[in-house]
Each structure stands twice: as C-alpha cells, then as structure tokens.
Amino acid sequence: MLSLKLSRWLLGYVRFDVHSGSPERFYTCCARSGAYLWDIKPGISGGACILARKYRTLRSNARRAGCRLKVTERRGLPFLLYRTRGHAGLWAGGAAFCLIVYLLSLRVWCIQMPDNNSIPREKLEAELASAGLTRGTLKSSIDPQAVSERIMLKFPDIRWMSVNLRGSAADIVIRCKTEKPKIADLKSICNIKASATGQILSMKIFAGTPAVKKGDAVTEGQLIVSAVVVDQSGGSTLTHASAEVTAETKHSFTVSVPMKKHEAVPTGRTLYRRNFEIFGARLPISLHGKPQGSWRISAEKFDVSLFGTPLPIGMYEERWEEVRVKDSLMTKSQARAAAEAEIMKQAKSAMKDGRVTGKKITEKWGKDNLTATALLNCEENIAREAEIYLK
C-alpha cells in the first residue's frame, strides 16, 4: 500500500468533482474506456482521483454523460517542481547537496573498534593511520587485507583481525591470543628446596617424599621434598617432586628518601585552545597560540553522533594550566609515608605470592634525607624446584 501511494505521488495526480449530468453514466464510461480512478466519492458533486497525465482522457466520457469536471486538488512531485520553477537557487542548492553527500559517501567517516585491554587504543589508532586507514580516507584506496596483516605484524598479541568497510564506517574486529598455561616438565627429576630461611606453617605434597614437617625451621637451600620415593616392597624410584610449602620468613629492606622535593604548583592562569575536527583534520577556532613557559596540558575530545552513528566531526579542546616549579621540604610524616610506600613496593617485587604479616621500621634522620630500614615478617611459598641431572 505504501509503495502504491509513493508511486502515485511521484507521478502526480489530481482530484476532481463531477457536476450536473449523470455521474453514474460518467463512471460507467470511464470503466469501459479503461480509465483507472480511485477514492471515488458518491453524490451529485462527488469526485475521484486520477493520474495527472490521464486527466484529459476523461473529457470525452464527461461529454457523453453531460457532466462538467472541475479539478479541486493537484498533488505529487511534478506539481511541487512546477511551483519552484522560478527559484533557481533551490535547484542549485539541491544539486550541491546531492553532490556533497555523494562525495562524502566515498570516504571513511568513522572507525569503530573494540576496547582491548592488552592493546592501548591510542597505539592501535596510530598504527591504523600509518597503514592508511584514518577518518577521511577514500574507501577505494583502502586494502582491508593489507591493513590487517600490517597491524598483526606490529602487535604479536593479535591472533586474528578483520577490517570491514560498511557504508561510511570501518569496523575493526580483533581477537587476541590466549596465554598458554604453564605446563610442568614432569619428565625431569628434581627435588624441592627452600628458597628462603623460615619456619614452615603448612605443606601440600603433590609428588615426592617430605624431608621436613610442619613447624620445622629451614634454611635457604635446604632440602624440603626429596625426589626419591620408596614403595611398599622397599624399592626406590626417582620422580619430579612437587609441593607447595608456606613458611614464615623475614626480609630486610633499606630505602633512602630525600627531604627536598620538586613539585609543580599551579599559578592560577588557565588557557583554553579549541579546534574543530572534521575527517581527522583539526581547524583552530581559538586565537590563542601555543604559550611559552611551564604549562600542564590536558585534552578532551567531544565526538558528534547521529542516532548512535558517529559522525566525522567533533570538537577537540586543550586545557593549558600554567605551573611553577617549586622546591619544598617534606614533613617527617610525609617522609615516613614515602619510605613505607617504597619498602612495600620492594617487598611486593621480591615476594610475588607472599604477604606481609608484620613490620618493624628503624629510622635514621640525616640532614637532607631519611634512611629507613624495615624488618618484615612475611608468609610466602618457599618451594623451589632443583633439578637433578643424571649421567
């Protein structure tokens, strides 16, 4: 039904009334002559609709029936164009609009890509630009296969990648590699030795013969689980020992924190630089140039979208905040907090799977610095594999 109404509007149609004579005979003559009428209204002055180019064929039928026809409405595209025949600017504007839309449709308006934690979005956009895929690029000049191969060579973590051109958008689909699990080499023969000095709190033996028990004190390098396994018949075999041994250990760390620090203090002067962005090109709309001196810069980008579809236009704003480098002395509490943070950072790096259960920090104040020595009580897995080589 919608397509029928649209075709009638495109071809143009008129509505007419039938006066005097015999309307019934007029409609009968129209049916016999093959004239297609619709929306026929009854009554003495009833009327109907017909295509505009077929209206003249009704005159002979009207004369036979003694009727007089009068056009009351003219609708459709031909009549709309006829009314605007004296306005050349409308025609020129419409032609220019169609030309601009056609030229813009030949280019990439936006690049849609998923947020991937392993690959920063900024780096991926930079590599896509170097591969020739940016907003405003001609779609005919883009080779999706070549772009995908170049990005995959640049980022080895990408397992599979696809570049799909859909309309004026470039859709990037990325699948990253799954990290392979660590598989123990059970074919080798090894003991379990202590990686640090401490007291054993718990033991989980997966393979091998324990050489110590819960509550024993061990030193670094001491045998904890032996690879020799004795069976019920008294025979012995060598195996790949495996265990998880949690022990209470002690670690010592020493850090030095300078009392003087350099910090950037805002002066209160702020400057904004705005740019209008279209197809990746930035057009400055602010009169401010790049200021001289020490400034802290932050940028924000505002994208424009229509019904959820990103458009190739936007606003890029830079916020410049003037700062002054100032030397200041830390208070004792600030120095202690900085030293403790550095100690915990070193402890976390030294013990990947351990945790700190207690600490004792000794301070030595100098003229320009604080030297802190920390004795940490920790709980960690001290099981370390020591391979046995047989000739």
Q: Verify that 126 and 172 share a domain, yes or no.
A: yes
CATH for 166? 3.10.20.310
Whether 174 maps to a domain, the answer reads: yes
Residues 162 and 197 in one domain: no
Query: Which among 311, 327, 343 is the end of a domain?
Result: 327
CB 285 within 8 A of CB 274: yes
pLDDT of residue 263: 79
pTM score: 0.50
Hey, how many other C-beta atoms are within 10 angstroms of the C-beta on 365? 12
On whether residue 102 sits in a domain, the answer given is yes
Task: Answer positive or negative: Cα dihedral of 361, 362, 365, 366.
Answer: negative
Residue 3 lies in a domain: no
Say whether both 99 and 137 belong to one domain.
yes
Instruction: Give the count of domains, the chain.
Output: 5
Asked if 30 and 110 sit in the same domain, the reply is: no
Give the pLDDT score at 391: 60
Statement to judge: residues 63 and 136 lie in one domain: no
Is the residue at 1 inside a domain?
A: no
Q: CB 353: neighbour CB atoms within 10 A? A: 9
Instruction: Look up the CATH number of the domain holding residue 76.
Output: 3.30.70
Phi (first) and psi of residue 267, to 5 degrees: -90, -10
As a whole number, the mean pLDDT across the chain is: 85
> Over the stretch 68-93, which tens digit does the pLDDT of each residue have?
888 888 888 888 888 877 777 877 88
- 18 & 61 share domain: yes
Percent with pLDDT over 70 in the chain = 96
Return the pLDDT at 13. 92
- Is the pLDDT at 352 greater than 80? The verdict is no
Q: Is residue 4 part of a domain?
A: no
Residues 319 and 333 in one domain: no
Residue range 288-346, pLDDT digits in tens = 788 888 888 888 888 887 777 777 788 888 898 988 888 788 888 888 888 888 888 88
Comparing 33-37, 154-158, 244-248, 387-391, which segment has the lowest mean pLDDT? 387-391
The per-residue pLDDT for range 206-237, each reduced to its tens digit, is: 888 888 888 889 999 899 988 888 877 777 88
Q: Which residues pair with 170 in a beta bridge?
A: 111, 165
> pLDDT tens for residues 173-185?
888 887 776 766 6
Residues 273, 317: contact at Cβ < 8 Å? Answer: yes
Structural domain that includes position 343: 254-260+329-386
Same domain for 59 and 117 = no
Residue 391 covered by a domain: no
Average pLDDT over residues 333-361: 85
Within a domain: 139: yes
